[in-house]
Amino acid sequence: MLEFNPLETYKKYRSRMIGTHLRDVAGPAEPPARARMVPFGEGVVKLPASIAFLRQTDFDGCVKGEGGGNQPMRDYMVQTLGLEL
């Protein structure tokens, strides 16, 4: 199964972060096929946990999002992740 956890990367490089770019992906259970971008909340990326970590560490950088169309992405970022745009 495809797994991607940006939280590990955030923890490793948090002291260097000035911004982040959010995406959600889904993909096949077996390589070598590639993951594809899907609307937020429909893939395997743990976006709420990642944003919670950034909040806990007082992250105040830019958060960008991509995938699933502008309005659904905006709605997810505001309603689910609690981000202000």
- The pTM score is 0.83
The per-residue pLDDT for 10 is 94
Contacts 24+ apart (CB under 8 A), 25-28: 26/2, 27/2, 28/2
- Domain map (residue ranges) of the chain: 6-80
Q: Beta strands 19-22 and 62-65: pairing type?
A: parallel
Rg for the chain (alpha carbons), in Å? 13
DSSP three-state, residue 74: helix
The answer to whether residue 24 scores a pLDDT higher than 60 is: yes
The per-residue pLDDT for 26 is 86
pLDDT in tens, 44-80: 889 999 999 999 999 999 999 998 889 999 999 999 9
The per-residue pLDDT for 35 is 80
State how far the Cα of 56 lies from the Cα of 53, in Å rounded to an integer: 5
